[in-house]
């Protein structure tokens, strides 16, 4: 390795690849994160290689020359270039090739050189050891063949994907995959489902850390630049599927660059054809894959590190002019984005641009921000927070503009962590093998939990930048990568993402994260949903609300699911119709969109799955846990919108969903809630999990709204039939879930009778509520005592025969079963979650403003792979500004809900004093939709085992 600083010089058509550090920081042999630049064209045909000298040919018809196989390394820590001379046989000189990182290796394929198309061989630059070495990977069978202008990325930390390009005859649209976990190595041509990109070349592709590949732009067979973007993902059943990405790109382009920073795809530069390039603010665009929108590009500012061609010389705006280029290359290290070289008109560029994505940086720890601030201070002494500038190794300049929220801000990197990296090794036989991952201080900022990471990203990117009143930025801790272990080590990329579970990691102790993510809402303002981090200990006294913004941004395109799902089955129809986190609105007409036959098909499919599952589910982290929903479908959509949705466009590929019951009753949209959850269960049977609550029983939901809703929205005959069919399905629901054998989730509690998990496992299903034992009663109906000072068993205000259990019972149960945490629902709590028994039990409630009166927040728990529990909150929406005159349908709907809840007041919110006066629910057979026999039976049930509280329900037959 030549230790002298030796920059690549002017070039285009090269690749720039981020490679993670090797070894332990501070130990001998440690090598920090690097950027590897390979190949490219160093001259234009008939033109000098020097940058800054325009070609007489102008932009149109430029032909590249001077193809090279040089390797240059940029040390991110020292900010210096070095030229590498690896051992082994190098690839032939080439440009318009592809490269991607596989741990500490760079895999290179294809391209075009002086002699024409390069061979299709896979060349690997191994950077694991101190001395880099070239290898050629032996691949059996046919493959993509020689091509150029294509894309390649590592998907799901396992599959090497090559897509499109030109074989010298025509643009292509084929998809090839090489499984790095299967030997001998072999290319396999895929036929993904869904609508994919047309044949094109000069597109870009980048893989999100969770395994979603985004391909955008390109030039089609008619030389027309494309603006579309497509996502490619692998389902856990092995199917690959294309889907059109949401939103509309601000400009078509090709020969551009794109790179992911967390869930944001940064697209820079590009050509339009005919000698034109992407101009003005469209030269940089950001696709927020979590929010499903292209971000305002005016918030993105880039600045040069070095270079001879300046914005001032161009006489244009720096942010626009610097990114106005094509045939350049980009890479990301943590929240930093690097761009090198390219072509602007007839000028080859040699500048290195670096920018920081502050919106993505919101998901880093305070330590990461401190590092970024320190890095920014390296640009110029006295550099002020909230400002950004660009520097040169020879000259230092500053920019006076203040950084806008969500902007991309320059900063010299200081030991930044790598995004989505993996670690493998290469043997002397040129085979890809597993290798250990280092533990570096820079990476330790990243690791919290992969599930928490994805959700924090989704929340932060869907919202504006959060602020503390004192001006200090408090950011969520960065979570672990998809394969990170609690020790900070990274498991090999050769493990299937869908097989990672308890056998692949050794989880540490369960602990509650010290901060919770909060999204609140008000009608005023247009800030789009502010997000902040609050200390867990602040929630008891937390009363302020954060501006949520107007629903204008909620009209962002949600085409992905609608395009990728044909309405050929009921589950797909339900998902396409209802799973619209930003676009769902209550139906103007209350008529439900499914008929009873379709609901029967849906229930049949779901029942077959539930009947094959045990009474106690055995689940793995990462996982999101939801509490009571009670027909408040709008809250479910808000939670999906803020913290990720179970879809190909969301996070279903790498995080499971667990719902703790009480899907129906009390809310206005029980039918939407239960049908969507059942459809998701059918579509993702191994990823979406439902257990039973006390309202999943005919005797209960006949009284508390679900039966009436079915009749009111489907007609009496079909509504009653639907209500009966769904309740038969409820009898099959699992009763509890065990996560990583350390956390048990249930609806109610352990009561007086449950001492061992085996007691729940032994309950045979299907089981109607009235046939249940005392174990089932305790499981679905019991509650913790008022606080940790009240021990033992106490009578439950819900009714005779029900109990509350103290913290001593919680500790006894956990000790008996080697558990560390109980997560239960069943009670409304003001902050959406509440700790009990010194944190060994958490009550979770996901519906906000329960029954329109509680004004409580809703929450979910996100359990990371390292078993860190992160609460994620939403606050109640304020009342809509409407009137019966302007919104008669809404008025009728609200009146219907208010009358029902006024006649059946809910159990008092946990921690609030109970009302002293008894309220009596008077039901006639007509108003309840029951005949007298059913009302007598309901009365018997309500006044014995199932009474919710003495002030809540008493039934009289008139």
Answer whether 22's CB lies under 8 Å from 438's CB: yes
Q: Which two tokens stand for residue 544?
A: 């302020």
| 294 pLDDT tier (thresholds 50, 70, 90) | confident
Taking alpha carbons only, the member of 461, 470, 582, 558 closest to residue 517 is: 461
Alpha-carbon distances of 161 from 157, 178, 192, 497, 588, rounded to whole Å: 11, 7, 12, 16, 45
Rounded to the nearest 10°, the torsion over CA 163, 165, 169, 171 is 90
What three-state secondary structure class fits 173?
Answer: strand
Answer whether 284's CB lies under 8 Å from 277's CB: no
User: Reading across the β-sheet that carries 122-126, which strands appear in turn?
Assistant: 98-102, 105-109, 122-126, 133-137
Catalytic-residue membership of 724: no
* pLDDT at residue 619 greater than cutoff 90: yes
What percent of the chain is modeled with pLDDT above 90?
47
pLDDT at 20: 86
pLDDT at 10: 93
d(CA 138, CA 569): 44
d(CA 668, CA 291): 26
Peptide bond into 622 cis (omega under 30): yes
The catalytic residue among 135, 695, 826, 840 is 695
What three-state secondary structure class fits 174?
Answer: strand
Q: Beta strand pairing status for 133-137 and 122-126?
A: antiparallel
How would DSSP label each residue in 317-335? -HHHHHH--BS-EEEEETT
Any idea what DSSP says for residue 490? Answer: B
* pLDDT at residue 615 greater than cutoff 90: yes
Q: Name the phi and psi angles at 100, rounded to 5.
A: -150, 155
Answer whether 691's CB lies under 8 Å from 697's CB: no
* pLDDT at residue 578 greater than cutoff 60: yes
d(CA 362, CA 340): 26
| 530 pLDDT tier (thresholds 50, 70, 90) | very low
Q: Name the phi and psi angles at 498, rounded to 5.
A: -85, 0
pLDDT at 717: 94
How many CA atoms, within 13 angstroms, populate the side-chain half-sphere of residue 513? 31
* pLDDT at residue 261 greater than cutoff 90: no
Q: Which two tokens stand for residue 28?
A: 């001998």
What three-state secondary structure class fits 133?
Answer: strand
Q: In sequence order, what are the residues at sequence separation of 6 or more whose Cβ sits closer than 8 angstroms to the Cβ of residue 888?
A: none
| 851 pLDDT tier (thresholds 50, 70, 90) | confident
Which residue(s) pair with 863 in the sheet?
A: 623, 869
Q: Which two tokens stand for residue 393?
A: 């190794």
d(CA 734, CA 612): 10
Answer whether 51's CB lies under 8 Å from 308's CB: yes
Beta strands in 138-216 (DSSP E): 151-155, 159-166, 171-179, 187-190, 200-201, 204-207, 213-216
Averaged pLDDT of the chain: 74
Lowest mean pLDDT of 72-76, 436-440, 579-583, name the range. Answer: 436-440
Q: Is the Cα dihedral 672, 674, 677, 678 positive or negative?
A: negative
d(CA 655, CA 955): 44
pLDDT at 571: 95
What percent of the chain is modeled with pLDDT above 70?
65
Q: Which two tokens stand for residue 157?
A: 């930390």
628 or 277: which leads in pLDDT:
628
């Amino acid at each position: 390795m030549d230790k002298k600083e030796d920059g690549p010089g002017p070039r285009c058509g090269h690749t720039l690849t981020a490679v993670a550090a090797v070894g332990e920081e501070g130990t001998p042999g440690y090598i920090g994160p690097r950027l590897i630049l390979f190949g490219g064209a160093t001259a234009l045909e008939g033109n000098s290689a020097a940058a800054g000298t325009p070609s007489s040919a102008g932009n149109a018809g430029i032909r590249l020359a001077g193809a090279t196989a040089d390797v240059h390394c940029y040390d991110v820590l020292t900010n210096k270039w070095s030229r590498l001379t690896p051992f082994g046989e190098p690839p032939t000189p080439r440009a318009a090739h592809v490269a991607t990182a596989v741990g500490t290796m760079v895999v290179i394929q294809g391209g075009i050189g002086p002699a024409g198309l390069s061979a299709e061989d896979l060349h690997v630059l191994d950077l694991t050891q101190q001395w880099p070495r070239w290898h050629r990977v032996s691949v059996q069978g046919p493959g993509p063949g020689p091509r150029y202008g294509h894309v390649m990325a590592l998907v799901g930390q396992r599959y090497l994907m090559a897509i499109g390009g030109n074989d010298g005859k025509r643009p292509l649209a084929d998809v090839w995959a090489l499984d790095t976990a299967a030997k001998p190595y072999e290319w396999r041509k895929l036929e993904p489902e869904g609508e994919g990109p047309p044949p094109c070349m000069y597109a870009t592709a980048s893989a999100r850390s969770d395994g979603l590949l985004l391909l955008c732009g390109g030039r089609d067979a008619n030389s027309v630049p494309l603006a579309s973007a497509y996502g490619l993902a692998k389902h856990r059943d092995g199917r690959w599927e294309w889907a059109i990405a949401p939103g509309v790109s601000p400009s078509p382009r090709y020969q551009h660059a794109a790179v992911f920073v967390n869930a944001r795809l940064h697209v820079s530069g590009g050509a339009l054809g005919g000698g034109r390039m992407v101009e003005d603010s469209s030269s940089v665009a950001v696709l927020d894959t979590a929010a499903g929108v292209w971000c305002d590009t005016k918030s993105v500012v880039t600045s040069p590190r070095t270079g001879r061609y300046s914005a001032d010389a161009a006489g244009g705006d720096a942010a626009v002019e610097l990114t106005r280029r094509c045939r350049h290359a980009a890479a990301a290290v943590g929240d930093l984005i690097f761009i090198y070289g390219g072509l602007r008109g007839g000028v080859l560029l040699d500048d290195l641009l670096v920018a920081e994505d502050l919106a993505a940086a919101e998901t880093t720890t305070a330590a990461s921000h401190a590092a970024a601030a320190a890095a920014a201070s390296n640009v110029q002494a006295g550099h002020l927070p909230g400002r950004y500038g660009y520097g040169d190794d020879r000259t230092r300049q500053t920019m006076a503009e203040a950084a806008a929220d969500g902007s991309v801000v320059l900063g010299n990197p200081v030991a930044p962590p790598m995004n989505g990296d993996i670690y493998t090794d290469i043997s002397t036989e040129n085979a890809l093998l597993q290798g250990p991952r280092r533990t570096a201080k820079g990476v330790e900022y990243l690791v919290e939990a992969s599930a928490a990471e994805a959700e924090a990203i989704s929340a932060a990117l869907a919202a504006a930048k959060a602020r503390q009143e004192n001006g200090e930025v408090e950011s969520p801790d960065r979570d672990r990568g998809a394969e990170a272990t609690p020790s900070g080590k990274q498991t090999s990329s050769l493990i299937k993402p869908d097989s990672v579970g308890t056998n692949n990691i050794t989880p540490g102790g369960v602990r509650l994260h010290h901060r919770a993510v909060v999204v609140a809402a008000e009608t005023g303002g247009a800030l789009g949903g502010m997000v902040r981090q609050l200390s867990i200990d602040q929630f008891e006294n937390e009363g302020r609300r954060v501006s949520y913004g107007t629903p204008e941004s909620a009209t962002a395109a949600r085409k992905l699911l609608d395009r990728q799902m044909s309405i050929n089955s009921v589950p797909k129809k339900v998902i396409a119709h209802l799973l619209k986190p930003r676009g769902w609105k209550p139906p103007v007409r209350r008529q439900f969109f499914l008929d009873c036959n379709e609901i029967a098909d849906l229930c049949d499919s779901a029942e077959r799955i539930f009947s094959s599952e045990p009474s106690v589910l055995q689940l793995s982290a990462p996982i999101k846990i939801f509490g009571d929903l009670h027909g408040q479908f709008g809250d479910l959509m808000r939670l999906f919108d803020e913290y990720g949705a179970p879809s190909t466009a969301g996070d279903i590929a790498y995080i499971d969903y667990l719902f703790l019951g009480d899907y129906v009753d009390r809310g206005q949209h029980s039918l939407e809630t239960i049908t969507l959850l059942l459809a998701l269960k059918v579509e993702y049977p191994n990823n979406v999990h439902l257990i039973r609550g006390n309202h999943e029983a005919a005797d209960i939901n006949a009284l508390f709204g679900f039966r009436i809703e079915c009749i009111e929205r489907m007609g009496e005959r079909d509504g009653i039939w639907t209500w009966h069919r769904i309740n038969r399905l409820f009898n099959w629901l699992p009763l509890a879930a065990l996560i990583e054998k350390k956390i048990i989730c249930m609806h109610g509690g352990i009561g007086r009778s449950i001492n061992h998990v085996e007691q729940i496992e032994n309950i045979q299903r299907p089981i109607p509520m009235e046939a249940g034992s005392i174990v089932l009663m305790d499981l679905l109906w019991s509650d913790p005592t008022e606080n940790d000072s009240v021990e033992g068993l106490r009578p439950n205000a819900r009714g005779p025969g029900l109990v509350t259990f103290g913290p001593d019972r919680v500790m006894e149960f956990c000790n008996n079963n080697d558990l560390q945490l109980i997560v239960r629902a069943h009670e409304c709590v003001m902050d959406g979650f509440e700790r009990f028994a010194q944190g060994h039990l958490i009550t979770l409630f996901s519906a906000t403003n329960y029954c329109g009166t509680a004004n409580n927040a809703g929450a979910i728990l996100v359990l990371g792979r390292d078993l860190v529990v992160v609460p994620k909150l939403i606050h109640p929406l304020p009342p809509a500004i409407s009137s019966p005159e302007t919104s008669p349908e809404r008025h009728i709907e609200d009146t219907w809900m208010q009358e029902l809840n006024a006649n059946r007041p809910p159990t008092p919110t946990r921690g609030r004093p109970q009302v002293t006066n008894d309220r009596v629910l008077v039901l006639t057979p007509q108003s309840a939709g029951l005949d007298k026999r059913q009302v007598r039976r309901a009365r018997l049930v309500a006044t014995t085992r199932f009474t919710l509280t003495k002030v809540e329900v008493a039934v009289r037959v008139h």
